[in-house]
Structures are given as structure tokens and as C-alpha cells.
Amino acid sequence: MSPEPAAGAGGDDAATEPCDLTAVGARRLIGAGRLSPVELLESCLARADATDPAVNALVTRDDAAARDAAQRAARAAADAAARDAALGPLHGLPVAVKDIQAAAGLPTTFGAVPFADNVAAVDDPIVRRIRDAGAVVVGKTNLPRWSADSQSFNEIFGTTNNPWDLTRVPAGSSGGAAAAVAMGFTGFELGTDIGGSIRFPASFNGVWGHKPSWGVVPTTGYLDHVAGGDTEADINVSGPLARSCDDLELLLDVLARREAPWIPQLPAPRFDVDSGDGLRVAAWLDDPSCRVDAEVLAVLKPAVAALEAAGVSVDRDARPDLDPDEAWEVGLWLVRAAMTLAGEGDGPDHRSWLVRHARREELRRRWAEFFADFDVVVMPVAFVPPFEHLQEGTFSDRLLTCNGEQRPYPDVTRWTILTGMAYLPATVPPLGLTPADGLPIG
């Protein structure tokens, strides 16, 4: 029997313990003096003590350092209240860091045995940002080796299980991060995404996740296999996982890059962001190139119907003018290139990359034409619901079952790569549970 996921995804009114609060809700209470950062941290640690042995999401903990940080945060909150001063936007909120992002004083193993004893001397830029905003770092979360799978297991820390069903995967590669949020071990998490590694775990664990547009959040410091984290890898992004949409907004404001010379200037929304008036939605829920399991569609279709019932304009037939098979082939090649050690010189490998990149630019243009008429496209994250642990064989030769038929395991990336390789943002909300097994779908 699985441990009970946190109530925070259902809103703060459903929270019975401080660790179940959303990040926004907990921060509001801390600012009002109604919740101590120490009380919040102890609630999170107690939840992890009780349930993480079954889930295995937090693979490194430094309780002593976290308690010191929480006590400092509590004193700072009391001092700020006395002086009527402002606190950081994440003040006193516990967080763990995916074990491919460096946090000073903690191991950063990448899930790879050669780095089992690697301890970071400094924070990655985004880890420094959340600390500067007041967050309390409690440890590291699990991932697949080199962050390169749609499950979360490795030889160092073992397997992370899905909180909703321990026999199933929490997805990957930010599977430990999403499971930690779902269980209430932390209020939010940092994830990374090159082929779906924020989006899959958000969907499979019933939490919120956001993959920003490429370049909005810095990824320097992240071991990208090409430059060792000194530069930013193609396609790869960092982004938040949390228990509410408001949490994502709070976190993205902290994470997003704002330094010159590259400061994004985004146009105003073409619709009312509060009421949804004027929002134009395309619903692309299934496709012959990658048929979607009936259990997934049983959750997605009512969600689209709810948008229509709320008065939102939904077009169920609109599609971008592109070949999904070509887009996946190009995107998967580019993802693999970004995760492989670079060759030397301007040889055939580089020419091959230039050819794929040119095709990618054409696909990006076609997406841009599509979004001239639509604001949002609703798509599946994965063609299957959370599946049972599948660790035998390689990424390329495993099989998944969809609608009673076996499909290649790499197909799990078909929907996410369509948009990821084009640098587009994507948000995953928890939409509901599958009828047969009660598994979350986003």
C-alpha cells in the first residue's frame, strides 16, 4: 500500500499539516507570523522520516544544516516583523535540489558511480538564487543515471517509487523531485527538462510543473555532458515543480534570468489572464503518429470539455503545419546530441547537427505560425499513464503497453519532444486520476 500523497495539490484548505501547504500558502503564513520556518521544516522532515523509506525521493539529507538555516530564517522573520521590513519571496520554505544541480556542501552525483563521492564546493546559479530568496535547502532528490531516462533509478541510490502506487515509476528524470513535492517532503522543487524531465514527473505524480522557454532560466552549472556545465546545453532547461499554479509563478519569478545583456521582453497576453476571456485553445489530444492510451484520454477529454463549458474557445481539429514523425526524429536526434560528448572539428557530426538544426528552425517557424491563431495547445504529456518499473534492457529496447499493444519505450518522448526541441514553454497541471487504477494524469 502506498503512502498518502500530500493534500497541497488540492489547495491549502485541504492541508492538515504544515508540510501539506502550498509554497505560496506557507510563505503567506510565515510573513504573517502565523507559521515558523522551524515548524514548517520539522513537519517536512517528519513526513519524510515516516514515508520516504518507501518512496526513496530524498536521497541525501543534511538535517543539521537545514535546521540551522530554518532557525536563522525564523530569527530573520521576527526581526523583519519588528522593523516592518520585507522578507525574501521564498523565506523559510524547504526545498531539495535535483542531484544533477550543485548545492554547496552536498554530494552531486548525477546518479553516476564515478561521481558518488563528488561534493559540490559552490551552488549552481539557480540554487544560489533560491537561497538568496530565503529558501532552506534540505538535501538532494533522486534521478536516473546522468538524468537520462524516463524513470528514476541508479546504482548509487536505487529506485524512486511513485507515491500513488509504489510498483510504478514516478517518471524521470526529475522523478525524485516530483515525488518529494507530492509527498510533502518539501514545498517545491527544482527540476530540469531536455526531453520531458519536468513534464513527465509532474504528470505521473499529480503535481504542477513548468518547463520554461529555453534560455529564460540559467542552466550553467548543470552537467550537460558537453561543456561540463560551463555553458548552456541545447534544449535543456531548468524549472519548478510545486503543488499549485501560484507556486509556479512565485518560483519562476525567482528563477528567471533578469541580468543584462539578455533580458526577455515578452508581449502582453492576448487574453484576460484572470477570466480567460479571449483565450484561444487548440486541443491536440491524439494523433496517428503516437496513439494515446484510453486511460489517459479518459482524463484529458473531460478537462477540455470543462474549458468549453467555462466559455473558452476550443478547436479540436487545429494542428500545426508539421509532420509529427519528422519533428520527433529531428528533436530526438538533437536531444541525444546535447547529451553526448562533443566531437572535435567541423566534421560530419557537426554537419549532421547543422542539418537537423536547420530543420528545427523550419519547425519552429511553423509553430510560430500556429500560435498566431492560438494561445495554448492542450496535448498529452505521455501516451501512457504511470507504468510499472521497467529496468531491464536499455532505453531503446524496452517496450510499453498502450491500449493492449506493445510500443517502443522511446515513444514516451514523442509528445514532449514536439515542443521541447522548438524551445517552447509548457505547463503541466494535475488534471485527474485514471478510471481503472486511480493514477494521476497531467
Check residue 341 and give its pLDDT. Answer: 52
pLDDT of residue 271: 82
Residues 63, 70: Cα–Cα separation, whole Å: 10
Report whether pLDDT(348) > 80: no
Domain boundaries, the chain: 8-255, 280-425
Q: Which residue type does 239 have? A: G
Query: CB of 20 within 8 A of CB of 28?
Result: no
pLDDT tens by residue, 208-222: 999 999 988 988 766
Give CA–CA dist 317/199, Å, rounded: 24
At which residue does the C-alpha cell 520531458 appear? Answer: 196
Find residue 97's DSSP bridge partners: 140, 190
What is the end-to-end Cα distance of the chain in Å, rounded?
A: 23
Whether pLDDT at 230 is above 70: no
Structure confidence at residue 345 (pLDDT): 47
pLDDT of res. 343 = 44
DSSP sequence for 29-44: HHHTTSS-HHHHHHHH
Average the pLDDT over 64-73 and give the result.
Answer: 99
Question: What sign does the CA torsion over 21, 23, 27, 28 have?
Answer: negative
Grid cell 546530441 in the structure block, residue: 337
> Quick one: pLDDT at residue 426?
98
For the domain bounded by 8-255, which CATH number is listed? 3.90.1300.10
β partners of residue 210: 427
pLDDT at 261 over 80: no
Residue of 178, 128, 163 lying closest to 51 (CA atoms): 163
pLDDT digit string, tens, across residues 94-141:
999 999 999 999 999 999 999 999 999 999 999 999 999 999 999 999
pLDDT bucket at 274, cuts 50 / 70 / 90: confident
SS3 154: strand
Residue 254 grid cell: 525567482
Amino acid at 439: L
Strands 94-98 and 136-141: parallel
Give the residue with greater pLDDT, 185 vs 267.
185
For the residues of 97-151, what is the DSSP string, one character each?
EETTS--TTSB--TT-GGGTT-B-SS--HHHHHHHHTT-EEEEEE---GGG-SSS
- Alpha-carbon span 49 to 45, nearest angstrom: 6
- What pLDDT score does 173 carry? 96
Give the tens place of pLDDT for each residue, 366-379: 999 999 999 999 99
Catalytic residue ranges:
98, 173, 197
Specify the pLDDT at position 356: 95
Distance from C-alpha of 279 to C-alpha of 281, rounded to nearest angstrom? 6
**369 vs 256, higher pLDDT:** 369
